[in-house]
Structures are given as C-alpha cells and as structure tokens.
Amino acid sequence: MSKQIFINLPVKDLNKSMDFYTAIGYTNNPQFTDDKAACMVLTDTIFVMLLTHERFKDFSSKEIVDTKKSVAVINALSVDSADEVNSIVDKAVKAGGNEYTEPKDYGFMQQRCFEDIDGHNWEVIFMDMSKMPQE
C-alpha cells in the first residue's frame, strides 16, 4: 500500500464545507462520512477530513484556532499545469473562498493561494522543472 496523507480540518458547517470542496473538484467517500465528519478525496493518496468542531475535539485537547483570524498551517498542493492552478483557485473563489494573495509567477513555478470558507489556507502550485534556474 502506498503512503497516504489525511489532512484533518475543523469546520463550522459540515455540509457547506462538503459543498465547497466538491465545487473545487474533490469527491466524497461516503464510507468515512457521517453527520460529524466527511472524507473528501483529492487523489488515491490525498484526503481531506472535514470534522465538525465537536468531532475534531476528539483528536486534540488543544483549543481550535480561529482560522479567520490566525493561520496555523498552509496546505500546499502541486498540480499538473498552470491551467489547473487557475481552475482550482477560480472554483474556490466562486464557491465562497477567498484568494488571499496575488498570483505569483516565478518563471519555473506558478502559485495561487486561497482560503476555504472556514479560513484554512491552501497554496496551489505548478512547477516546470525544465525552467528551473541553474546555478
């Protein structure tokens, strides 16, 4: 079995968060979804677990950060093309997310950033290694 990553995010409204992630291209795995948690599938190895605050507290005794005011983590996702970067971020904004910084073009890498409806930060990047500066 290949290694997998599960990103666990506390969310205020599970259904609205599921709708948001569906709008940007994730699919739901109903096998791991109930009224307190939803497994959103990005790839065969990348999953976002949306957890109500009540359910999230089962995993940590720490206070849940208000991600509308503070940042705890930035999730970075690489994709296959600059067009895919634009598509994902455009869909995120249309679905109620916020593009929190200007797009960046480093020549070899395109980057755009958004926060979801709960304020969780995401970077979406495409890197063309053939354009990587040589030292």
Spatial distance between the Cα atoms of 99 and 131, rounded to a whole number of angstroms:
26
Domains of the chain (ranges, CATH numbers) = 5-129 (3.10.180.10)
Q: pLDDT band for 133, please (50, 70, 90 cuts).
A: confident
Share of the chain above pLDDT 70, in %: 100
pLDDT digits (tens, 9 = 90+) for 12-53: 999 999 999 999 999 999 999 999 999 999 999 999 999 999
Spatial distance between the Cα atoms of 14 and 57, rounded to a whole number of angstroms:
15
Q: What is the pTM of this model?
A: 0.91
Residue 96 predicted with pLDDT over 90: yes
Residue 78 predicted with pLDDT over 90: yes
Q: What are phi and psi for residue 131, nearest 5 degrees?
A: -105, 5
